[in-house]
Structure 1
Amino acid sequence: MPGRARSPLGTITRGTTNPNRLRRCDRWLAGPQGHRLRRAGPDPVVVDLGYGASPVTALELHDRLARVRADVQVVGIEIDPARVEVAKPLERDGLRFVVGGFELPVPEPPVFVRAFNVLRQYAESEVPAAWHAVQERLAPDGLLVDGTCDEIGRLASWVAVDRAGPRSLTLSYRLAGLASPGVVAERLPKALIHRNVPGEPVHAFLEALDTAWTRSAHQGSFGARQRFLATAAALRDDGWPLLGDERRWRLGELTVDWAAVAPAEGSVGPRH
């Protein structure tokens, strides 16, 4: 006798989204993380988890990653069946939509699972279980990207989580008009947003980021990009374990090792 179908794991989110909102994360997946797709087997699976009321971000994800692997298979997963029904007519070769949640109802372990503005609507205490559910399903070289961004994608942050645990925090900015990089505090992922208080490593990192930005003000006469480059170089020189190089910094993107910003219970910040 067949068993009862498993209910999707998770809760329905507000579902707000906009075209091009997740371009910063997509650029990071196709860029410094593109090697994971390139060395995957045939028809690598990528999941857009909790894509929202509009399927536009899943279509954009497929377009961008297909430039890295033409055979990429993007699956948009939504816990709300009505949202999936809206998306179904837009299915095409390499792109489909299914009902589901953190249990990831896909046939093969995914290389990437992008979950943006999903866990932000959960309690912090629910984050570890959600991460664990996805980690169990990842490909050996796979990544969960748990992120948050503003409504039009000018400001974003995300945690990269592999099968062993979180690896890095990335901050990404539209540099034109940026007053202070610490503004990202309001868009930190759920695992960190309530940790931006004195005594927590992420608070120390954001303070150091703003301090370096202030000290690099003289570079502003050459443009916001030059000021951001000087800010990132100052952070690195001060001992913060930044990943990547000037090519990413020029895009307004900064990635730091997770150990430097993780909640205080299990992490140690950089030694100055």
Structure 2
Amino acid sequence: MVTGAHDSATRLAPVRLRDVPGPHRPVGSITRGTTNPNRLRRCDRWLAGPQSGRLRRSTTPPIVVDLGYGASPVTAVELHERLRRVRPDVQVVGIEIDPERVAAARPLERAGLSFRRGGFEVPLGDGRRPTVVRAFNVLRQYDEAEVAGAWAQLRTRLAPGGLIVDGTCDEVGRRAAWVAVDEAGPVSLTISLRLRGLGRPSDVAERLPKALIHRNVPGEPIHAFLTDLDDAWARSAPHAGWGARQRFLAAAADIAGRWPLADGPSRWRLGEMTVAWDAVAPVS
């Protein structure tokens, strides 16, 4: 099911999660996959910040997979550059289902950065398991009903204490949202916004991950969360005189008593907010 894309695209020869691949056949389908430099910087910053302990705790060089990196390997290169500041021996592996994309990326390989062909089976070889699998703008292109199966398959590949990041962002990375999934299941939803020029926080709705994007309707928890955040943003308008950052900080503090936020001002000031999954999960 790996799309090999960091963008919305037309599916080519789709393969369903229920299909059983041959012994050497990647689990997934090839799609168009354009991307841009710095597009995933918000997620990278979160992995190198609140999630850095997962890398530091590993007793062996941690493996981080950029799953479905697309036509350009730039996001995998950037991920390696950012995470090695946290853990110099980190191993970043870009995985793509299109062999031509893998071949094009191979000249960029270096110590700690490699590329290989594969899909949701995450073929690392030698029994190796990733500490983090980042899959951005991948499941967005498939049916909502397939998400749980994709998460379940990826969870079987994780190292102990590992994490899957299933996210979506706009073309230049100014609006992003991602679900964190650990060995037991989904844990949290994070939204990350460029605050300058922000109309309202719910502008991120069109970039919600596939598990939630069709659930932003009355009666669903994610709709209630974004509505409450918009209302708090409106009430915080007097803080705009000190800048959008102060306004967002005030809005986040406003809803913190009503929603189980997993972070605080140090992340809010970045336009980032993480809420427990149970609070925003689909009702059915």
TM surpasses 0.5: yes
Q: Structure 2: how far apart are the matches of 1:190 and 1:18?
A: 21
Question: Is 1:187 aligned with 2:215?
Answer: no
Contact kept, 8 Å, 1:13 with 1:118, in 2: the verdict is no
Q: Give deviations 1:180-234, integer Å, cap 9, x for gaps.
A: 1100100000000001111110011011111110111111011000000000000
2:121 — aligned with what? Answer: 103
1:28 — aligned with what? Answer: 46
1:270 — aligned with what? Answer: none
Tell me which stretches of 4 or more aligned residues in structure 1 moved more than 4 Å. Answer: none
Question: Is 1:253 aligned with 2:272?
Answer: yes
SS at match of 1:127: helix
SS at match of 2:251: helix
Q: Give deviations 1:7-60, integer Å, cap 9, x for gaps.
A: 111122321100000000000000000000000122111000000000000000
- Per-residue deviation, 1:140: 1.1
1:16 — aligned with what? Answer: 34
- Per-residue deviation, 1:103: 0.4
1:171-186 aligned within 5 A: 171-186=191-206
1:30-69 aligned within 5 A: 30-69=48-87
1:1-272 aligned within 5 A: 5-107=23-125, 108-237=128-257, 239-265=258-284
Contact kept, 8 Å, 1:13 with 1:50, in 2: the verdict is no
Give 5+ residue unaligned stretches, structure 1: 266-272
- Amino acid of the structure 2 residue aligned with 1:28: W
Contact kept, 8 Å, 1:37 with 1:111, in 2: the verdict is yes
Q: Structure 1: how far apart are the matches of 2:88 and 2:61?
A: 9
Q: Structure 2: how far apart are the matches of 1:11 and 1:248?
A: 36
Q: Give deviations 1:73-125, integer Å, cap 9, x for gaps.
A: 00000011111011011100000000000100013111110000011111111
- Amino acid of the structure 2 residue aligned with 1:104: V
Alignment root-mean-square deviation, CA: 0.8
Q: Structure 2: how far apart are the matches of 1:10 and 1:261?
A: 28
Q: Structure 1: how far apart are the matches of 2:184 and 2:57?
A: 19
Q: Structure 2: how far apart are the matches of 1:181 and 1:244?
A: 17
Residue identity over aligned pairs, in percent, reads: 69
Contact kept, 8 Å, 1:135 with 1:144, in 2: the verdict is yes
Q: Structure 1: how far apart are the matches of 2:23 and 2:129?
A: 20
1:268 — aligned with what? Answer: none
TM-score, length-scaled by structure 1? 0.95
- Amino acid of the structure 2 residue aligned with 1:198: P
| Bigger Cα displacement from structure 2, 122-131 vs 156-165 | 122-131
- Amino acid of the structure 2 residue aligned with 1:123: D
